[in-house]
Amino acid sequence: MLPISDTYDNLRRDFRWQIPEKFNIGVAVSDDWAAREPGRICLQHFSPDGAHLSLTYGAFAAQSSAFAQGLLQQGVKRGDRVAILLPQSFETAISHAGIYKLGAIALPLALLFGVEALEYRLRDAGASAIVTNRFGYEKIAEIRSRLPDLKVGVLVDHRAPETVDFAALAQTPAPNFAPADTTPDDPAMMIYTSGTTGPPKGALHGHRVLLGHIPGFQFHHAFLPQPGDRMWTPADWAWAGGLLNALLPSLLLGVPVVSSPGQKFDPHMAFRILEEMDVRNAFIPPTALRLMKSVDNPRSLYRLNLRTIGSAGESLGRETWEQASEAFGVPVNEFYGQTECNIVLSSAANLGVLKPGSMGKAAPGHDVAIIDGEGRALPVGTVGQVAVRRPDPVMFLGYWNNEAATAAKFIGDWMTTGDQGVQDEEGYVTFFGRDDDVITSSGYRIGPGEIEDCLAGHPAVQLAAAIGKPDPVRTEIVKAYIVLKPGCEAGPGLEAEIRNWVKTRLSMHEYPREIEFLDSLPLTTSGKVIRRILRDRAAAEG
């Protein structure tokens, strides 16, 4: 918890980590509050028809314990990986809390993933159970025969052979259930992140990851919780942003969280949610803020009662910051982190820590620097890599079954981020660029290798390369350069077919919005694609 202070310097000076010897995320976000205030509202669900729902901490604690007991009876053990393939919902939050109480490892997955992306993550994680809905079940059914570790399927809105009904587990009283006696370093969750080389990697976090988020979270939300605070985000709870920048920290601090149905982002619906649910605090990624600019003078159309807005996932930019701050009536606090180590830089307008265009300063409790390739801190104004010093409670335990990648993430005691930045004389850090090929589109970090592998599976594709092309709304769009197999002819029909190939097999946010057919790709002597040449070519197109 942040000590209340009136200056950033005092906060940095006075803050001390207080990590207990025992800590369990599931207990902290449900049971602890239920013991004190069982009737306190913890979750509210927005329904477009106006029939909004609420859940109390007492019900949340009871149902998550029952769910944990049910998983245990189904053979799920401490340390097992349990996938959650659901939209924002009460069931998603209950599943997370129950998995943590059991001592298992939550594996959040996005419903927009295609079957190939799901298969890789479930196989790599060795997931023994999955909680999903009808939409997710139809995808899993295609690949279940290729997932030998997946023994238990739990469905929330559907009945199918060899599956278990979610309600039957969560509604069965479990008065004798005892949560796992976990330490802060015991594994709690694994979130896959894509890089430029190789397949996606599972970033494994201990239970302490939630405690590690609290100071930065409270920093950009002006010492949340305050009376009347209520949190909402359009970000998928399967993403580290939605889960750890909104849902879990709010529940820990006793702040109700608003969930909303999965849907294509609709700016007017977003404003309606803010108004009808009396949202006071929001995490809204930059792409969503840019899309919401299409609503002219929203405060004349909607009664907004916002107190704080945080934004991260990609660079916000001065123009978007100015427009969004004016539209919402409160300054947008930009912050920075990544799946492996989140909310380590942050803005806090109420403390005067705000410089539009920057990601803020080091959040209380975190040591962030701009370093060179040898791990040396660079002078003010010099571009280098953004790095975070270990140990740090918010930092990941390592990549799942990938010691080499984990070791490569560090230079001495500095965890490298792969992002280039520059720090000014006041301590503000501004994002400069990436030192890898990760594509940032609509707040998602997308690894080109996974897209290229999928493209290569198309019968007409011989070679393919994916890069990020600058885009004013999405930061970047995925553009694919493709060399066709002999005898195949380029054309609009084939373009559409290839886009759909990636969209249905990999993910609806990773398909190439632009495709260009070439006779050859620029390659190194070892056969690697020189993406820099392609990026420069795409950028020159305007």
User: CA 90: distance to chain centroid?
Assistant: 18
Pick from 32, 88, 25: which is nearest to 57 by CA? Answer: 32
231-232 and 257-259 strand pairing: parallel
Amino acid (one-letter) located at 414: W
Q: What is the pLDDT of residue 194?
A: 64
CB 517 within 8 A of CB 498: no
| Sign of the Cα pseudo-torsion (122, 125, 129, 133, in order) | negative
Long-range Cβ contact pairs of 428-434 (< 8 A, separation 24 or more):
428/355, 428/358, 428/359, 428/360, 428/361, 429/336, 429/345, 429/358, 429/359, 429/360, 429/361, 429/362, 429/368, 429/370, 429/386, 430/357, 430/358, 430/359, 431/315, 431/336, 431/359, 431/386, 432/383
CA dihedral 177, 181, 185, 189 (to 10 degrees): -10
List, for residues 387-428, the tens digit of each pLDDT value. Answer: 999 999 999 999 999 999 999 999 999 999 988 889 999 999
Cα–Cα distance between 238 and 289 in angstroms, integer?
Answer: 20
- What does 71-94 look like in DSSP terms, one character per residue? HHHTT--TT-EEEEE--SSHHHHH
Q: Does position 263 have pLDDT exceeding 70, yes or no?
A: no
The number of residues making up the chain comes to 542
Cα–Cα distance between 200 and 290 in angstroms, integer?
Answer: 28
List, for residues 31-65, the tens digit of each pLDDT value. Answer: 999 999 999 999 999 999 999 999 999 999 999 99
- What does 260-316 look like in DSSP terms, one character per residue? ----S--HHHHHHHHHHTT--EEE--HHHHHHHTTSSSHHHHS-----EEEE-SS--
Q: What is the pLDDT of residue 434?
A: 65
Pick from 233, 241, 286: which is nearest to 108 by CA? Answer: 241
Amino acid (one-letter) located at 67: F
Q: What is the pLDDT of residue 262?
A: 74
Average pLDDT, the chain: 93
CB 201 within 8 A of CB 249: no
Q: Looking at residues 426-432, what average pLDDT do you find?
A: 91
List, for residues 206-230, the tens digit of each pLDDT value. Answer: 999 999 999 999 999 999 999 999 9
Residue 523's alpha-carbon distances to 290, 484, 530, in angstroms, are: 36, 16, 5
List, for residues 57-102, the tens digit of each pLDDT value. Answer: 999 999 999 999 999 999 999 999 999 999 999 999 999 999 999 9
Name the more confident of 32 and 291. Answer: 32
Pick from 33, 57, 122, 132: which is nearest to 89 by CA? Answer: 132
Q: What is the pLDDT of residue 525?
A: 42
Residue 262's alpha-carbon distances to 78, 99, 191, 235, 237, in angstroms, are: 30, 22, 20, 10, 10
Give 439's pLDDT tier (boundaries 50, 70, 90): confident
CB 343 within 8 A of CB 224: no
| DSSP H/E element including 326 | helix 318-328
CB 15 within 8 A of CB 1: no
Residue 166's alpha-carbon distances to 63, 92, 93, 169, 290, in angstroms, are: 10, 11, 13, 5, 37
CATH class of 439-540: alpha beta
| DSSP H/E element including 433 | strand 429-434
Cα–Cα distance between 124 and 212 in angstroms, integer?
Answer: 27
List, for residues 5-16, the tens digit of each pLDDT value. Answer: 999 999 999 999
Give 196's pLDDT tier (boundaries 50, 70, 90): very low
SS (H, E, C) 96-112: HHHHHHHCCEEEECCCC
Q: Looking at residues 373-385, what average pLDDT do you find?
A: 94
CB 74 within 8 A of CB 152: yes
Residue 520's alpha-carbon distances to 197, 485, 534, in angstroms, are: 21, 11, 12
The model carries a pTM of 0.86
Q: How far does the chain reach from its first CA to its final CA, in angstroms?
A: 46
Name the more confident of 524 and 352. Answer: 352
Give 528's pLDDT tier (boundaries 50, 70, 90): low
* % the chain with pLDDT above 90: 77
Residues with Cβ within 8 Å of 30's Cβ and at least 6 positions away in sequence, in order, are 42, 57, 60, 61, 64, 97, 251
Number of H helices, E strands in the chain: 19, 27
129-132 and 201-206 strand pairing: unpaired
Give 526's pLDDT tier (boundaries 50, 70, 90): very low
SS3 (DSSP) at 324: helix
Q: Does position 500 have pLDDT exceeding 50, yes or no?
A: yes
* Most confidently predicted of 271-280, 445-454, 474-483: 271-280
SS3 (DSSP) at 472: coil
Cα–Cα distance between 117 and 110 in angstroms, integer?
Answer: 10
Amino acid (one-letter) located at 278: D
Pick from 393, 443, 407: which is nearest to 215 by CA? Answer: 393
Cα–Cα distance between 238 and 349 in angstroms, integer?
Answer: 28
Across the beta sheet with 514-517, what order do the strands follow?
A: 461-471, 475-484, 514-517
